[in-house]
Amino acid sequence: MKILGIETSCDETAAAVVEDGSKILSNVVVSQIDIFAEYGGVIPEVAARSHLEAMMPVVNKALKNAFCSWDEIDAIAVTHAPGLLGSLLIGTLTARTMAILHEKPLYATHHLKSHVYANWLNVDESEELVSERALEAARPSFTLSKTNSSDSPQFPLLAMVISGGHTQILYMRGHDQFEIIGTTHDDAVGECFDKVAKILGLTYPGGPSIAKEALRGNENKYKLPHPHVDGLDFSFSGLKTAVLRAVQKELGLPISHPSHDLKNHLTDEMRADFAASFQKTAIDILNEKIKLAIQEHPEIKSIVFAGGVSANQKLREEAERIFSKDYAVFFPEPKYSGDNGAMVAAAAFYEIQAGVKPTDPYKLNIYPRISIES
Ligand code: KG4
Ligand code: ZN
């Protein structure tokens, strides 16, 4: 079954064709990062306009790269929740129109489900990606993929969804069965990377910038506190403030000193040490919560990571080191950690397997803030 997956929930315009939930026939992502790097964050109206311009060329390229005509597409899947309102509208209106025009069944997927299902994508099977990987291999790369790339995650499992908008631990008994067992009380961990990067004067998005800067820093230089949050929940706004205070203290500046000016006073060494110390603390917090979740659910067979922050190499190494002796640990290939259309198609495939029926293309709505459990 070939599904065209469309994703526009934030600042990536993406479409992909995936066969049977795992074989990637094409994957096209147009990122707006360059636009938003200038502003230090996403501007929703600008994102929606950019999606509008990129959407149809991206869909057409995804079909062309997959050597597929519309006749060969069995279904269309699109992200309808959660995300930026204007961005979700462009993707869903496109998918609805295409579904009506080409008489295809339409499936609406939740963005976090799609992130989780990136772990079922079999990147090795993709021709296009095989050649890209050959290029990657030529560079000094740290790519570390699934514990065993030929296997799929086994249920029951814990899924750690860590993105720019969400930080949740999900318990999955089977396909398309999601229970939230931990969530953030305030900022998402990706948001925290982005805000700390801004304080340190690193470019948006903050995650990759901090990861790169941290490579030459001392992660034990600054001791940052772990927030006291009971159970499996998280809080990341306190960690961002802790970095802010630590930077002010290191520079001998008062807490009233404007945060946007601190970057002008940091030495290169301080910046790298703060990036490394912050990254280590954020990763430790995530892994500590997984340890707690395992205590509550010792029956799990796999641990899967998902969402933009799961591209973090240090997190991959640490999680593998801590958990892979006892559990199968899965990460999406780094380029599928962030937003893409392939994961949307994969999620829809497993929803269909679980008995989900197509949605009415004349009525499909968007839900910018809805939970994965609804
Ligand atoms: O999943 P995603 O692409 O979009 C959302 O659904 O939010 O996640 C984006 C987030 C951003 O906050 C970005 O800074 C973070 O993922 N991110 C990373 C890395 N790459 C992206 N965080 C830490 N380390 C990375 N290597
Ligand atoms: Zn995402």
> Which CATH number do you get for residue 277?
3.30.420.40
* 128 Cα: distance to centroid of ligand 2 (angstroms): 23
Residue with the smallest CA separation from ligand 1 atom 23 is: 207
Q: Average per-residue pLDDT in the chain? A: 93
Does residue 24 sit in the same domain as residue 105? yes
Does residue 57 sit in the same domain as residue 133? yes
What atom of ligand 1 comes closest to residue 12's alpha carbon?
3
Residue with the smallest CA separation from ligand 1 atom 3 is: 338
Q: How confident is the model at residue 130 (pLDDT cuts 50, 70, 90)?
A: very low
Name the residue of 141, 163, 335 whose CB sits within 8 Å of the most ligand 1 atoms, as the mutation to test its pocket: 163
Q: Is 21 in the pocket of ligand 1 (CB under 6 A)?
A: no
Does residue 202 sit in the same domain as residue 110? no
Over residues 236-286, the pLDDT tens digits come to 999 999 999 999 999 999 999 999 999 999 999 999 999 999 999 999 999
Compare 130 and 74 and report the one with higher pLDDT: 74
φ/ψ of 140, rounded to 5, equals -70, 100
Does residue 186 sit in the same domain as residue 311? yes
Q: How confident is the model at residue 143 (pLDDT cuts 50, 70, 90)?
A: very low
Q: Is 79 in the pocket of ligand 1 (CB under 6 A)?
A: no
Q: Exposed, middle or buried: residue 25 (CB in 10 Å: 0-12, 13-18, 19+)? A: buried
Q: How confident is the model at residue 91 (pLDDT cuts 50, 70, 90)?
A: very high
Residue with the smallest CA separation from ligand 1 atom 13 is: 207
SS3 category, 88: helix
Residue whose tokens read 């005509």: 69
Mean pLDDT, to the nearest integer, of 57-75?
98
Cβ atoms < 10 Å from Cβ of 279: 24
Residue 213 lies in a domain: yes
Does residue 69 sit in the same domain as residue 95? yes
Quote the pLDDT of residue 123: 86
* 164 Cα: distance to centroid of ligand 2 (angstroms): 7
Does residue 130 sit in the same domain as residue 182? no
Residue 361 lies in a domain: no
Residue with the smallest CA separation from ligand 1 atom 14 is: 207
Over residues 311-336, the pLDDT tens digits come to 999 999 999 999 999 999 999 999 99
In the 8-state DSSP scheme, what is residue 149? T
Over residues 179-223, the pLDDT tens digits come to 999 999 999 999 999 999 999 999 999 999 999 999 999 999 999
The span from the CA of 17 to the CA of 274, in Å, is 41
Quote the pLDDT of residue 136: 44
Name the residue of 309, 310, 314, 336 whose CB sits within 8 Å of the most ligand 1 atoms, as the mutation to test its pocket: 309
Residue 49 lies in a domain: yes
Residue 131 lies in a domain: yes
Residue 359 lies in a domain: no
Residue 65 lies in a domain: yes
Q: How confident is the model at residue 357 (pLDDT cuts 50, 70, 90)?
A: very high
Given a cut of 70, is residue 371 above it in pLDDT?
Answer: yes
Number of domains in the chain: 2
Q: How confident is the model at residue 70 (pLDDT cuts 50, 70, 90)?
A: very high
Q: Is 309 in the pocket of ligand 1 (CB under 6 A)?
A: yes
The span from the CA of 328 to the CA of 305, in Å, is 11
Q: How confident is the model at residue 138 (pLDDT cuts 50, 70, 90)?
A: very low
Does residue 161 sit in the same domain as residue 85? no
In the 8-state DSSP scheme, what is residue 203? P
Quote the pLDDT of residue 82: 98
Does residue 132 sit in the same domain as residue 163? no
What atom of ligand 1 comes closest to residue 165's alpha carbon?
7
Cβ atoms < 10 Å from Cβ of 245: 12
Q: Is 190 in the pocket of ligand 1 (CB under 6 A)?
A: yes
Q: Is 334 in the pocket of ligand 1 (CB under 6 A)?
A: no
Name the residue of 193, 339, 369 whose CB sits within 8 Å of the most ligand 1 atoms, as the mutation to test its pocket: 193
Does residue 326 sit in the same domain as residue 245? yes
Q: Is 165 in the pocket of ligand 1 (CB under 6 A)?
A: yes
Q: Is 332 in the pocket of ligand 1 (CB under 6 A)?
A: no
Percent over 90 (pLDDT), the chain? 91
| 83 touches 89 (CB < 8 A) | no
Residue 162 lies in a domain: yes
What atom of ligand 1 comes closest to residue 197's alpha carbon?
14
Residue with the smallest CA separation from ligand 1 atom 10 is: 164
Mean pLDDT, to the nearest integer, of 99-126?
93
Residue 76, strand partner residues: 4, 106
Residue 374 lies in a domain: no
Q: Where are the alpha helices (DSSP H) in the chain?
A: 33-37, 44-65, 85-102, 111-117, 127-138, 189-200, 206-214, 237-251, 259-262, 268-296, 313-323, 341-353
Over residues 148-175, the pLDDT tens digits come to 445 899 999 999 999 999 999 999 999 9
Over residues 212-241, the pLDDT tens digits come to 999 999 999 999 999 999 999 999 999 999
Residue 19, strand partner residues: 2, 23
| 315 touches 163 (CB < 8 A) | no
Given a cut of 80, is residue 67 above it in pLDDT?
Answer: yes
Q: How confident is the model at residue 125 (pLDDT cuts 50, 70, 90)?
A: low
Does residue 25 sit in the same domain as residue 117? yes
Does residue 187 sit in the same domain as residue 273? yes
Which residue range is the domain that position 212 belongs to? 157-330
Does residue 217 sit in the same domain as residue 116? no
